[in-house]
Chain A
Amino acid sequence: MHDGVFGEGRAVRWTLIALAVGFLVLFLVLPLLAVFSEALRRGAAAFFATFDDPDTQAAIRLTLLVAAIAVPLNLVFGLSAAWAISKFEFPGKSVLISLIDLPFSVSPVVAGLVYVLLFGAKGLLGPLLDDWDFKIIFAVPGIVLATIFVTFPFIAREVIPLMQEQGTADEEAALTLGASGFRTFLTVTLPNVRWALLYGVLLCNARAMGEFGAVSVVSGHIRGLTNTMPLHVEILYNEYNFVAAFAVASLLAGLALVTLGAKSVLEWRHGDALAPARRH
Protein backbone atom coordinates (compact mmCIF):
# COMPACT_ATOMS: atom_id res chain seq x y z
CA MET A 1 0.00 0.00 0.00
CA HIS A 2 2.83 2.41 0.82
CA ASP A 3 5.61 1.02 -1.28
CA GLY A 4 8.58 2.84 -2.76
CA VAL A 5 11.07 5.00 -0.94
CA PHE A 6 9.11 5.30 2.29
CA GLY A 7 7.49 1.89 2.71
CA GLU A 8 8.76 -1.13 4.60
CA GLY A 9 9.84 -4.22 2.72
CA ARG A 10 7.46 -7.16 2.38
CA ALA A 11 9.27 -9.21 5.01
CA VAL A 12 9.13 -6.45 7.65
CA ARG A 13 5.52 -5.70 6.86
CA TRP A 14 4.31 -9.28 7.18
CA THR A 15 6.37 -9.82 10.33
CA LEU A 16 4.69 -6.82 11.95
CA ILE A 17 1.25 -7.96 10.81
CA ALA A 18 1.95 -11.45 12.19
CA LEU A 19 3.10 -10.00 15.52
CA ALA A 20 0.03 -7.75 15.85
CA VAL A 21 -2.43 -10.44 14.81
CA GLY A 22 -0.72 -13.01 17.04
CA PHE A 23 -0.86 -10.70 20.04
CA LEU A 24 -4.54 -9.89 19.51
CA VAL A 25 -5.50 -13.53 18.92
CA LEU A 26 -3.64 -14.60 22.06
CA PHE A 27 -5.12 -11.93 24.31
CA LEU A 28 -8.56 -11.29 22.79
CA VAL A 29 -9.76 -14.14 20.60
CA LEU A 30 -8.62 -17.11 22.70
CA PRO A 31 -10.22 -15.90 25.98
CA LEU A 32 -13.47 -15.29 24.13
CA LEU A 33 -13.38 -18.75 22.53
CA ALA A 34 -12.56 -20.27 25.92
CA VAL A 35 -15.76 -18.80 27.41
CA PHE A 36 -18.03 -20.41 24.81
CA SER A 37 -16.07 -23.65 24.65
CA GLU A 38 -16.18 -24.14 28.44
CA ALA A 39 -19.89 -23.24 28.50
CA LEU A 40 -20.69 -25.92 25.92
CA ARG A 41 -18.29 -28.53 27.32
CA ARG A 42 -21.07 -30.79 28.57
CA GLY A 43 -23.37 -30.13 25.64
CA ALA A 44 -26.26 -27.82 24.93
CA ALA A 45 -28.58 -29.43 27.49
CA ALA A 46 -26.26 -28.67 30.40
CA PHE A 47 -25.78 -25.16 29.03
CA PHE A 48 -29.50 -24.42 28.94
CA ALA A 49 -30.14 -26.14 32.27
CA THR A 50 -28.21 -23.31 33.93
CA PHE A 51 -30.91 -20.87 32.97
CA ASP A 52 -33.64 -22.98 34.60
CA ASP A 53 -32.06 -22.32 37.97
CA PRO A 54 -34.14 -19.72 39.87
CA ASP A 55 -30.97 -18.13 41.32
CA THR A 56 -29.58 -17.58 37.83
CA GLN A 57 -32.87 -16.09 36.72
CA ALA A 58 -32.90 -13.81 39.76
CA ALA A 59 -29.34 -12.67 38.93
CA ILE A 60 -30.36 -11.85 35.35
CA ARG A 61 -33.41 -9.92 36.57
CA LEU A 62 -31.34 -7.95 39.09
CA THR A 63 -28.71 -7.08 36.47
CA LEU A 64 -31.43 -5.80 34.12
CA LEU A 65 -33.04 -3.82 36.96
CA VAL A 66 -29.77 -2.19 38.02
CA ALA A 67 -28.91 -1.20 34.44
CA ALA A 68 -32.47 0.09 33.93
CA ILE A 69 -31.98 2.49 36.86
CA ALA A 70 -28.31 3.44 36.45
CA VAL A 71 -28.24 4.07 32.69
CA PRO A 72 -31.21 6.52 32.51
CA LEU A 73 -29.93 8.46 35.54
CA ASN A 74 -26.49 8.82 33.97
CA LEU A 75 -28.19 9.74 30.70
CA VAL A 76 -30.09 12.62 32.31
CA PHE A 77 -26.89 13.68 34.07
CA GLY A 78 -24.86 13.50 30.84
CA LEU A 79 -27.37 15.67 28.97
CA SER A 80 -27.67 18.20 31.81
CA ALA A 81 -23.91 18.52 32.21
CA ALA A 82 -23.44 18.75 28.43
CA TRP A 83 -26.08 21.49 28.12
CA ALA A 84 -24.58 23.59 30.91
CA ILE A 85 -20.98 23.06 29.77
CA SER A 86 -21.41 23.43 26.02
CA LYS A 87 -23.98 26.21 25.79
CA PHE A 88 -22.74 28.56 28.54
CA GLU A 89 -19.55 30.18 29.71
CA PHE A 90 -18.85 30.00 33.44
CA PRO A 91 -15.79 29.94 35.68
CA GLY A 92 -14.52 26.53 36.76
CA LYS A 93 -15.78 24.77 33.64
CA SER A 94 -12.60 22.81 33.02
CA VAL A 95 -12.54 21.70 36.67
CA LEU A 96 -16.09 20.41 36.29
CA ILE A 97 -15.11 18.48 33.13
CA SER A 98 -12.16 16.86 34.93
CA LEU A 99 -14.31 15.96 37.95
CA ILE A 100 -16.80 14.16 35.70
CA ASP A 101 -13.98 11.83 34.55
CA LEU A 102 -12.85 11.21 38.14
CA PRO A 103 -14.62 7.82 38.57
CA PHE A 104 -12.49 6.39 35.73
CA SER A 105 -9.33 6.88 37.79
CA VAL A 106 -10.76 5.29 40.94
CA SER A 107 -10.41 1.54 41.43
CA PRO A 108 -13.79 -0.24 41.32
CA VAL A 109 -13.05 -1.65 44.76
CA VAL A 110 -12.57 1.86 46.13
CA ALA A 111 -15.84 2.89 44.46
CA GLY A 112 -17.59 0.20 46.48
CA LEU A 113 -15.64 1.03 49.62
CA VAL A 114 -16.75 4.69 49.71
CA TYR A 115 -20.40 3.62 49.94
CA VAL A 116 -19.63 1.12 52.68
CA LEU A 117 -17.92 3.90 54.64
CA LEU A 118 -20.98 6.06 54.11
CA PHE A 119 -23.87 3.62 54.51
CA GLY A 120 -22.38 0.44 56.03
CA ALA A 121 -23.27 -0.89 59.49
CA LYS A 122 -20.24 0.92 60.94
CA GLY A 123 -20.38 3.72 58.38
CA LEU A 124 -21.12 7.40 58.79
CA LEU A 125 -24.88 7.12 58.22
CA GLY A 126 -25.13 3.45 59.26
CA PRO A 127 -26.83 4.03 62.64
CA LEU A 128 -29.31 6.46 61.09
CA LEU A 129 -30.26 3.96 58.36
CA ASP A 130 -30.57 1.29 61.06
CA ASP A 131 -33.11 3.42 62.93
CA TRP A 132 -35.12 3.83 59.75
CA ASP A 133 -34.73 0.11 59.01
CA PHE A 134 -33.49 0.95 55.51
CA LYS A 135 -30.65 -1.10 54.05
CA ILE A 136 -28.33 0.26 51.37
CA ILE A 137 -25.25 -1.89 51.82
CA PHE A 138 -25.80 -5.62 51.20
CA ALA A 139 -29.00 -4.60 49.40
CA VAL A 140 -30.14 -3.44 45.98
CA PRO A 141 -29.76 0.35 46.57
CA GLY A 142 -26.04 -0.07 47.26
CA ILE A 143 -25.59 -2.10 44.07
CA VAL A 144 -27.37 0.62 42.10
CA LEU A 145 -25.22 3.38 43.68
CA ALA A 146 -21.94 1.53 43.04
CA THR A 147 -23.00 0.89 39.44
CA ILE A 148 -23.90 4.55 38.90
CA PHE A 149 -20.48 5.54 40.28
CA VAL A 150 -18.43 3.35 37.94
CA THR A 151 -20.53 4.18 34.86
CA PHE A 152 -20.82 7.87 35.75
CA PRO A 153 -18.67 9.46 32.97
CA PHE A 154 -19.63 7.22 30.03
CA ILE A 155 -22.50 9.22 28.51
CA ALA A 156 -21.31 12.69 29.53
CA ARG A 157 -17.91 12.25 27.90
CA GLU A 158 -19.46 11.26 24.55
CA VAL A 159 -21.94 14.14 24.45
CA ILE A 160 -19.95 17.05 25.97
CA PRO A 161 -17.17 17.33 23.33
CA LEU A 162 -19.65 16.95 20.46
CA MET A 163 -22.02 19.62 21.83
CA GLN A 164 -19.08 21.94 22.49
CA GLU A 165 -18.06 21.53 18.88
CA GLN A 166 -21.59 22.19 17.61
CA GLY A 167 -21.84 25.52 19.43
CA THR A 168 -25.10 27.40 20.00
CA ALA A 169 -26.07 28.73 16.56
CA ASP A 170 -28.78 26.11 15.86
CA GLU A 171 -30.41 26.63 19.25
CA GLU A 172 -30.29 30.42 18.93
CA ALA A 173 -32.00 30.19 15.54
CA ALA A 174 -34.76 27.99 16.97
CA LEU A 175 -35.32 30.34 19.91
CA THR A 176 -35.40 33.37 17.61
CA LEU A 177 -38.07 31.62 15.55
CA GLY A 178 -40.17 31.35 18.70
CA ALA A 179 -39.58 27.80 19.93
CA SER A 180 -39.57 27.30 23.70
CA GLY A 181 -36.33 26.31 25.42
CA PHE A 182 -37.48 22.73 26.02
CA ARG A 183 -38.81 22.34 22.48
CA THR A 184 -35.50 23.65 21.13
CA PHE A 185 -33.69 21.01 23.17
CA LEU A 186 -35.99 18.21 21.99
CA THR A 187 -36.14 19.10 18.30
CA VAL A 188 -32.76 20.74 17.67
CA THR A 189 -30.15 19.69 20.24
CA LEU A 190 -31.20 16.08 20.81
CA PRO A 191 -31.28 15.08 17.09
CA ASN A 192 -27.83 16.66 16.67
CA VAL A 193 -26.30 14.41 19.33
CA ARG A 194 -28.43 11.27 18.95
CA TRP A 195 -25.69 8.96 17.65
CA ALA A 196 -23.17 10.08 20.24
CA LEU A 197 -25.84 9.60 22.89
CA LEU A 198 -26.57 6.07 21.67
CA TYR A 199 -22.82 5.36 21.66
CA GLY A 200 -22.52 6.51 25.27
CA VAL A 201 -25.60 4.53 26.33
CA LEU A 202 -24.17 1.35 24.76
CA LEU A 203 -20.87 1.66 26.63
CA CYS A 204 -22.58 2.72 29.86
CA ASN A 205 -24.98 -0.23 29.67
CA ALA A 206 -22.21 -2.75 28.96
CA ARG A 207 -20.27 -1.59 32.00
CA ALA A 208 -23.41 -1.37 34.17
CA MET A 209 -24.36 -4.98 33.41
CA GLY A 210 -20.80 -6.25 33.68
CA GLU A 211 -19.44 -4.39 36.71
CA PHE A 212 -17.88 -6.74 39.24
CA GLY A 213 -15.48 -5.10 41.71
CA ALA A 214 -17.58 -2.20 42.98
CA VAL A 215 -20.75 -4.26 43.12
CA SER A 216 -18.96 -7.14 44.81
CA VAL A 217 -17.94 -4.90 47.73
CA VAL A 218 -21.46 -3.61 48.46
CA SER A 219 -23.54 -6.66 47.52
CA GLY A 220 -23.07 -9.15 50.32
CA HIS A 221 -23.58 -11.92 47.73
CA ILE A 222 -27.00 -13.04 48.91
CA ARG A 223 -28.28 -15.57 46.40
CA GLY A 224 -31.53 -14.69 44.69
CA LEU A 225 -31.50 -11.25 46.33
CA THR A 226 -28.28 -9.26 45.79
CA ASN A 227 -26.46 -11.36 43.21
CA THR A 228 -25.96 -9.75 39.83
CA MET A 229 -24.86 -11.83 36.83
CA PRO A 230 -21.11 -11.19 37.24
CA LEU A 231 -21.34 -12.03 40.97
CA HIS A 232 -23.32 -15.16 40.14
CA VAL A 233 -20.52 -16.17 37.76
CA GLU A 234 -18.07 -15.88 40.66
CA ILE A 235 -20.21 -17.95 43.05
CA LEU A 236 -20.78 -20.73 40.50
CA TYR A 237 -17.08 -20.73 39.62
CA ASN A 238 -15.98 -20.96 43.24
CA GLU A 239 -18.35 -23.92 43.69
CA TYR A 240 -16.54 -25.66 40.80
CA ASN A 241 -19.77 -25.52 38.82
CA PHE A 242 -17.77 -24.51 35.75
CA VAL A 243 -20.34 -25.24 33.05
CA ALA A 244 -22.93 -23.04 34.75
CA ALA A 245 -20.37 -20.31 35.51
CA PHE A 246 -19.26 -20.18 31.88
CA ALA A 247 -22.87 -20.42 30.65
CA VAL A 248 -23.77 -17.23 32.54
CA ALA A 249 -20.43 -15.75 31.46
CA SER A 250 -21.21 -16.53 27.82
CA LEU A 251 -24.39 -14.48 28.10
CA LEU A 252 -22.30 -11.52 29.32
CA ALA A 253 -19.72 -12.17 26.58
CA GLY A 254 -22.57 -12.12 24.06
CA LEU A 255 -23.61 -8.73 25.42
CA ALA A 256 -20.02 -7.50 25.02
CA LEU A 257 -19.93 -8.72 21.39
CA VAL A 258 -23.24 -7.04 20.57
CA THR A 259 -21.96 -3.83 22.18
CA LEU A 260 -18.72 -3.95 20.18
CA GLY A 261 -20.62 -4.66 16.95
CA ALA A 262 -23.08 -1.82 17.47
CA LYS A 263 -20.24 0.52 18.46
CA SER A 264 -18.30 -0.32 15.30
CA VAL A 265 -21.37 0.19 13.10
CA LEU A 266 -21.87 3.62 14.71
CA GLU A 267 -18.22 4.51 14.08
CA TRP A 268 -18.39 3.42 10.43
CA ARG A 269 -21.82 4.79 9.52
CA HIS A 270 -22.17 7.83 11.74
CA GLY A 271 -18.57 8.69 12.55
CA ASP A 272 -19.17 12.36 11.76
CA ALA A 273 -21.93 12.57 14.35
CA LEU A 274 -19.81 11.18 17.20
CA ALA A 275 -17.44 12.89 19.63
CA PRO A 276 -14.24 14.00 17.81
CA ALA A 277 -12.11 11.35 19.53
CA ARG A 278 -14.33 8.57 18.12
CA ARG A 279 -13.87 9.49 14.45
CA HIS A 280 -11.48 7.23 12.61
Chain B
Amino acid sequence: MSTAVLRGWTPSIAKPSVLPGFGITFGFAVSYLSLIVLIPLAVLVWRASALGIDGIWRVATTPRVLAALQLSFFISAAAALVNVIFGAIVAWVLVRYDFPGKRILDAAVDLPFALPTAVAGIALAALYATNGWIGALFAPWGIKIAFTPLGIFIALVFIGLPFVVRTVQPVLQDFEREVEEASATLGAGRGQTVFRVVLPALVPALLTGGALAFARAVGEYGSVIFIAGNMPFVSEIAPLLIVTRLEEFDYAGASAIATVMLIISFAALLVINSIQAFSRRRFGHA
Protein backbone atom coordinates (compact mmCIF):
# COMPACT_ATOMS: atom_id res chain seq x y z
CA MET B 1 0.00 0.00 0.00
CA SER B 2 1.53 3.30 -1.00
CA THR B 3 1.82 6.12 1.48
CA ALA B 4 -0.05 8.40 -0.87
CA VAL B 5 -3.16 6.24 -0.55
CA LEU B 6 -2.87 6.13 3.23
CA ARG B 7 -2.30 9.85 3.40
CA GLY B 8 -5.48 10.20 1.40
CA TRP B 9 -7.64 8.95 4.26
CA THR B 10 -5.78 10.55 7.11
CA PRO B 11 -8.47 12.61 8.82
CA SER B 12 -8.02 16.33 8.73
CA ILE B 13 -7.64 16.81 12.47
CA ALA B 14 -3.95 15.87 12.25
CA LYS B 15 -1.48 18.04 10.41
CA PRO B 16 -0.47 16.43 7.10
CA SER B 17 2.42 13.99 7.44
CA VAL B 18 4.23 11.50 5.23
CA LEU B 19 3.69 8.88 7.92
CA PRO B 20 0.63 6.66 7.56
CA GLY B 21 -1.72 5.21 10.13
CA PHE B 22 -3.00 8.20 12.06
CA GLY B 23 -6.66 7.40 11.45
CA ILE B 24 -6.54 3.81 12.60
CA THR B 25 -4.24 4.26 15.61
CA PHE B 26 -5.93 7.44 16.83
CA GLY B 27 -9.36 5.92 16.25
CA PHE B 28 -8.52 2.73 18.12
CA ALA B 29 -6.81 4.54 21.00
CA VAL B 30 -9.68 6.96 21.54
CA SER B 31 -12.39 4.28 21.21
CA TYR B 32 -10.60 1.95 23.63
CA LEU B 33 -10.03 4.80 26.10
CA SER B 34 -13.70 5.77 25.88
CA LEU B 35 -15.05 2.23 26.27
CA ILE B 36 -12.80 1.17 29.14
CA VAL B 37 -12.31 4.39 31.09
CA LEU B 38 -14.36 7.41 30.04
CA ILE B 39 -17.85 5.95 29.55
CA PRO B 40 -17.77 3.86 32.76
CA LEU B 41 -16.57 6.90 34.76
CA ALA B 42 -19.27 9.02 33.10
CA VAL B 43 -21.89 6.48 34.22
CA LEU B 44 -20.65 6.91 37.80
CA VAL B 45 -20.93 10.69 37.58
CA TRP B 46 -24.37 10.39 35.95
CA ARG B 47 -25.53 8.00 38.65
CA ALA B 48 -24.29 10.33 41.40
CA SER B 49 -25.73 13.42 39.69
CA ALA B 50 -29.17 11.81 39.92
CA LEU B 51 -28.83 12.43 43.66
CA GLY B 52 -28.05 16.10 43.10
CA ILE B 53 -25.42 18.08 44.96
CA ASP B 54 -27.44 18.11 48.18
CA GLY B 55 -28.11 14.38 47.83
CA ILE B 56 -24.39 13.66 47.61
CA TRP B 57 -23.82 16.06 50.51
CA ARG B 58 -26.46 14.23 52.58
CA VAL B 59 -24.77 10.86 51.98
CA ALA B 60 -21.28 12.26 52.57
CA THR B 61 -22.27 13.86 55.88
CA THR B 62 -24.04 10.90 57.45
CA PRO B 63 -21.98 10.16 60.56
CA ARG B 64 -20.59 6.81 59.40
CA VAL B 65 -19.57 8.08 55.94
CA LEU B 66 -18.12 11.27 57.36
CA ALA B 67 -16.10 9.26 59.89
CA ALA B 68 -14.73 7.02 57.11
CA LEU B 69 -13.87 9.97 54.85
CA GLN B 70 -12.15 11.82 57.69
CA LEU B 71 -10.21 8.71 58.68
CA SER B 72 -9.05 8.10 55.10
CA PHE B 73 -8.16 11.75 54.63
CA PHE B 74 -6.20 12.32 57.85
CA ILE B 75 -4.34 9.03 57.98
CA SER B 76 -3.40 9.39 54.30
CA ALA B 77 -2.06 12.88 55.04
CA ALA B 78 -0.07 11.62 58.05
CA ALA B 79 1.37 8.73 56.00
CA ALA B 80 2.27 11.12 53.16
CA LEU B 81 4.08 13.37 55.64
CA VAL B 82 6.16 10.47 56.98
CA ASN B 83 6.92 9.49 53.39
CA VAL B 84 8.06 13.03 52.57
CA ILE B 85 10.51 13.05 55.49
CA PHE B 86 11.89 9.54 55.09
CA GLY B 87 11.62 9.69 51.29
CA ALA B 88 13.91 12.72 51.30
CA ILE B 89 16.43 10.91 53.52
CA VAL B 90 16.30 7.74 51.41
CA ALA B 91 16.67 9.69 48.14
CA TRP B 92 19.57 11.69 49.59
CA VAL B 93 21.39 8.59 50.80
CA LEU B 94 20.83 6.71 47.51
CA VAL B 95 22.09 9.62 45.38
CA ARG B 96 24.91 11.04 47.50
CA TYR B 97 26.48 8.16 49.44
CA ASP B 98 28.06 4.83 48.63
CA PHE B 99 27.57 1.85 50.86
CA PRO B 100 27.34 -1.92 50.42
CA GLY B 101 23.96 -3.13 49.20
CA LYS B 102 22.95 0.25 47.82
CA ARG B 103 21.88 -1.06 44.42
CA ILE B 104 19.64 -3.75 45.91
CA LEU B 105 18.06 -1.22 48.26
CA ASP B 106 17.49 1.15 45.36
CA ALA B 107 15.70 -1.59 43.42
CA ALA B 108 13.71 -2.59 46.52
CA VAL B 109 12.16 0.88 46.82
CA ASP B 110 9.70 -0.08 44.06
CA LEU B 111 8.47 -3.16 45.96
CA PRO B 112 5.16 -1.53 47.00
CA PHE B 113 4.42 -0.98 43.28
CA ALA B 114 5.17 -4.59 42.41
CA LEU B 115 3.85 -6.50 45.44
CA PRO B 116 0.10 -7.25 45.19
CA THR B 117 -1.75 -5.21 47.80
CA ALA B 118 -3.43 -8.26 49.35
CA VAL B 119 -0.03 -9.85 49.93
CA ALA B 120 1.26 -6.66 51.53
CA GLY B 121 -1.91 -6.52 53.65
CA ILE B 122 -1.62 -10.00 55.16
CA ALA B 123 2.16 -9.64 55.60
CA LEU B 124 1.77 -6.38 57.52
CA ALA B 125 -1.08 -7.81 59.58
CA ALA B 126 1.13 -10.80 60.50
CA LEU B 127 4.06 -8.54 61.42
CA TYR B 128 2.11 -6.05 63.52
CA ALA B 129 -0.36 -8.38 65.25
CA THR B 130 0.30 -8.73 68.97
CA ASN B 131 2.07 -12.05 68.31
CA GLY B 132 3.94 -10.82 65.24
CA TRP B 133 7.64 -9.93 65.00
CA ILE B 134 7.03 -6.21 65.47
CA GLY B 135 3.66 -6.23 67.24
CA ALA B 136 5.12 -8.41 70.01
CA LEU B 137 7.67 -5.67 70.78
CA PHE B 138 4.90 -3.15 71.44
CA ALA B 139 2.34 -5.45 73.08
CA PRO B 140 4.01 -5.37 76.55
CA TRP B 141 3.59 -1.57 76.54
CA GLY B 142 -0.11 -1.94 75.85
CA ILE B 143 0.24 -0.57 72.32
CA LYS B 144 -1.83 -2.38 69.69
CA ILE B 145 -0.93 -1.63 66.07
CA ALA B 146 -2.74 -4.15 63.87
CA PHE B 147 -6.55 -3.83 63.84
CA THR B 148 -6.40 -0.18 64.95
CA PRO B 149 -6.04 3.09 62.99
CA LEU B 150 -2.29 2.79 63.66
CA GLY B 151 -2.32 -0.31 61.44
CA ILE B 152 -3.97 1.67 58.62
CA PHE B 153 -1.20 4.24 58.98
CA ILE B 154 1.49 1.54 58.64
CA ALA B 155 -0.13 0.13 55.49
CA LEU B 156 -0.45 3.59 53.92
CA VAL B 157 3.20 4.43 54.66
CA PHE B 158 4.14 1.17 52.91
CA ILE B 159 1.97 1.87 49.86
CA GLY B 160 3.19 5.47 49.45
CA LEU B 161 6.88 4.80 50.07
CA PRO B 162 8.17 4.83 46.46
CA PHE B 163 6.48 8.06 45.35
CA VAL B 164 8.62 10.64 47.19
CA VAL B 165 11.87 8.73 46.67
CA ARG B 166 11.25 8.39 42.94
CA THR B 167 10.29 12.05 42.42
CA VAL B 168 13.16 13.49 44.51
CA GLN B 169 15.90 11.15 43.23
CA PRO B 170 16.21 12.55 39.66
CA VAL B 171 16.06 16.18 40.85
CA LEU B 172 18.84 15.55 43.36
CA GLN B 173 20.86 13.76 40.68
CA ASP B 174 20.65 16.76 38.35
CA PHE B 175 21.38 19.27 41.10
CA GLU B 176 24.52 21.15 40.19
CA ARG B 177 27.27 20.61 42.74
CA GLU B 178 28.78 23.97 41.77
CA VAL B 179 25.91 25.71 43.57
CA GLU B 180 26.82 23.89 46.78
CA GLU B 181 30.49 24.70 46.28
CA ALA B 182 29.64 28.36 45.77
CA SER B 183 27.59 28.36 48.95
CA ALA B 184 30.48 26.78 50.88
CA THR B 185 33.01 29.16 49.36
CA LEU B 186 30.88 32.10 50.44
CA GLY B 187 31.21 30.90 54.00
CA ALA B 188 28.02 28.91 54.60
CA GLY B 189 28.31 25.94 56.91
CA ARG B 190 27.23 22.53 55.59
CA GLY B 191 23.92 22.74 57.44
CA GLN B 192 23.17 26.16 55.98
CA THR B 193 24.01 24.95 52.48
CA VAL B 194 21.77 21.87 52.77
CA PHE B 195 18.79 23.60 54.35
CA ARG B 196 18.95 26.94 52.54
CA VAL B 197 20.36 26.03 49.13
CA VAL B 198 19.65 22.37 48.34
CA LEU B 199 16.38 21.79 50.20
CA PRO B 200 14.44 24.70 48.62
CA ALA B 201 15.25 23.28 45.18
CA LEU B 202 13.83 19.92 46.29
CA VAL B 203 10.58 21.33 47.69
CA PRO B 204 8.53 20.99 44.46
CA ALA B 205 9.62 17.36 44.07
CA LEU B 206 8.91 16.65 47.75
CA LEU B 207 5.43 18.17 47.47
CA THR B 208 4.68 16.34 44.23
CA GLY B 209 5.79 13.04 45.72
CA GLY B 210 3.80 13.72 48.88
CA ALA B 211 0.67 14.56 46.88
CA LEU B 212 1.07 11.40 44.78
CA ALA B 213 1.49 9.29 47.92
CA PHE B 214 -1.55 10.97 49.46
CA ALA B 215 -3.71 10.40 46.36
CA ARG B 216 -2.74 6.74 46.26
CA ALA B 217 -3.33 6.32 50.01
CA VAL B 218 -6.85 7.80 49.97
CA GLY B 219 -8.01 5.20 47.44
CA GLU B 220 -6.01 2.27 48.80
CA TYR B 221 -8.02 -0.82 49.73
CA GLY B 222 -6.21 -4.16 49.50
CA SER B 223 -3.30 -3.56 51.85
CA VAL B 224 -5.45 -1.74 54.41
CA ILE B 225 -8.45 -4.00 55.01
CA PHE B 226 -6.40 -6.87 56.41
CA ILE B 227 -4.69 -4.77 59.05
CA ALA B 228 -7.42 -2.20 59.78
CA GLY B 229 -9.92 -4.14 61.87
CA ASN B 230 -12.63 -2.37 59.86
CA MET B 231 -14.76 -1.15 62.77
CA PRO B 232 -17.34 1.46 61.72
CA PHE B 233 -16.50 4.91 63.19
CA VAL B 234 -13.07 3.68 64.32
CA SER B 235 -11.06 1.99 61.61
CA GLU B 236 -13.34 1.84 58.56
CA ILE B 237 -11.81 3.51 55.47
CA ALA B 238 -13.89 5.14 52.72
CA PRO B 239 -13.13 2.58 49.98
CA LEU B 240 -14.30 -0.22 52.28
CA LEU B 241 -17.55 1.63 52.89
CA ILE B 242 -18.12 1.74 49.10
CA VAL B 243 -17.73 -2.03 49.00
CA THR B 244 -20.14 -2.42 51.94
CA ARG B 245 -22.75 -0.22 50.22
CA LEU B 246 -22.39 -2.24 47.02
CA GLU B 247 -22.92 -5.48 48.89
CA GLU B 248 -26.16 -3.97 50.24
CA PHE B 249 -27.08 -3.07 46.61
CA ASP B 250 -27.12 0.60 47.67
CA TYR B 251 -25.74 1.78 44.32
CA ALA B 252 -26.67 5.43 44.97
CA GLY B 253 -24.85 5.51 48.31
CA ALA B 254 -21.77 3.82 46.82
CA SER B 255 -21.75 6.28 43.90
CA ALA B 256 -22.02 9.28 46.23
CA ILE B 257 -19.02 8.19 48.34
CA ALA B 258 -17.08 7.32 45.18
CA THR B 259 -17.81 10.77 43.75
CA VAL B 260 -16.49 12.48 46.87
CA MET B 261 -13.34 10.34 46.63
CA LEU B 262 -12.94 11.18 42.94
CA ILE B 263 -13.15 14.87 43.82
CA ILE B 264 -10.45 14.44 46.49
CA SER B 265 -8.11 12.61 44.08
CA PHE B 266 -8.68 15.15 41.30
CA ALA B 267 -7.93 17.96 43.75
CA ALA B 268 -4.67 16.18 44.61
CA LEU B 269 -3.95 15.84 40.89
CA LEU B 270 -4.59 19.54 40.37
CA VAL B 271 -2.20 20.38 43.21
CA ILE B 272 0.45 18.14 41.63
CA ASN B 273 0.05 19.81 38.22
CA SER B 274 0.28 23.33 39.66
CA ILE B 275 3.41 22.42 41.64
CA GLN B 276 4.97 21.03 38.49
CA ALA B 277 4.00 24.08 36.41
CA PHE B 278 5.44 26.34 39.11
CA SER B 279 8.59 24.26 39.35
CA ARG B 280 9.13 24.31 35.57
CA ARG B 281 8.96 28.11 35.62
CA ARG B 282 11.08 28.50 38.73
CA PHE B 283 13.71 25.78 38.39
CA GLY B 284 13.43 24.62 34.79
CA HIS B 285 12.50 21.06 35.74
CA ALA B 286 9.34 19.26 36.79
Contact = CB atoms under 8 A, between A and B. Distances in A.
Contacts of A263: 107, 110, 114
A107 B185 CA distance: 49
Given A109-B221, A110-B219, A260-B108, A172 B18 contact: yes
Contacts of B43: 114, 117-118, 124
A30 B242 CA distance: 31
A237 B225 CA distance: 12
The range of chain A's interface size is 35 or more
Nearest to B286: A277
B133 A30 contact: yes
B36 A91 contact: no
Given A1-B98, A31-B158, A110 B44 contact: yes
Contact of A280 (B38, B114, B173): B173
Contact of A96 (B30, B127, B261): B30
Majority secondary structure, A binding face: helix
B268 A105 contact: yes
B25 A17 contact: no
B126 interface: yes
A253 B93 contact: no
Contacts of A77: 28-29, 32-33
Contacts of B47: 117
A115 B243 CA distance: 13
A206 B119 CA distance: 13
B161 A90 contact: no
A20 to B, nearest CB: 4
Interface string B111-134: 111111111101110110000111
B137 to A, nearest CB: 12
Interface stretch (B62-70, B84-92, B199-207, B274-282): B84-92
B105 interface: yes
B101 to A, nearest CB: 8
A35 interface: yes
B122 A87 contact: no
Contacts of B112: 28
A210 B119 contact: yes
Interface in A191-235: 203, 206, 209-213, 216-217, 229-231, 233-234
B262 A110 contact: yes
A16 B116 contact: no
Interface stretch (B53-61, B138-146, B251-259): B251-259
A149 B25 contact: no
A145 B43 CA distance: 15
Contacts of A253: 115, 119
A31 to B, nearest CB: 4
A164 interface: no
Give the residue among B13, B120, B258 with the most A Cβ atoms within 10 A.
B120
Nearest to A176: B18
Nearest to B247: A217
Nearest to A109: B239
Interface in A1-52: 1-2, 5-9, 13, 16-17, 19-21, 23-24, 26-32, 34-35, 38
A260 to B, nearest CB: 5
A105 B266 contact: yes
A147 B121 CA distance: 19
Contacts of A28: 108-109, 111-112, 158, 161
A16 B89 contact: yes
A140 interface: no
B20 interface: yes
Given A110-B242, A175-B19, A13 B97 contact: yes
Contact of A172 (B19, B190, B240): B19
Contact of A17 (B28, B93, B111, B242): B93
Contacts of A19: 86, 89, 93
Given A6-B193, A16-B89, A110-B242, 16 more contacts: A24-B105, A32-B111, A35-B119, A83-B21, A83-B25, A88-B14, A90-B22, A105-B266, A107-B220, A107-B242, A181-B1, A181-B21, A213-B222, A230-B117, A253-B119, A261-B107
15 contacts: A16-B89, A31-B120, A38-B126, A84-B25, A105-B215, A105-B268, A110-B219, A110-B239, A122-B249, A149-B36, A168-B17, A175-B19, A233-B116, A234-B118, A260-B111
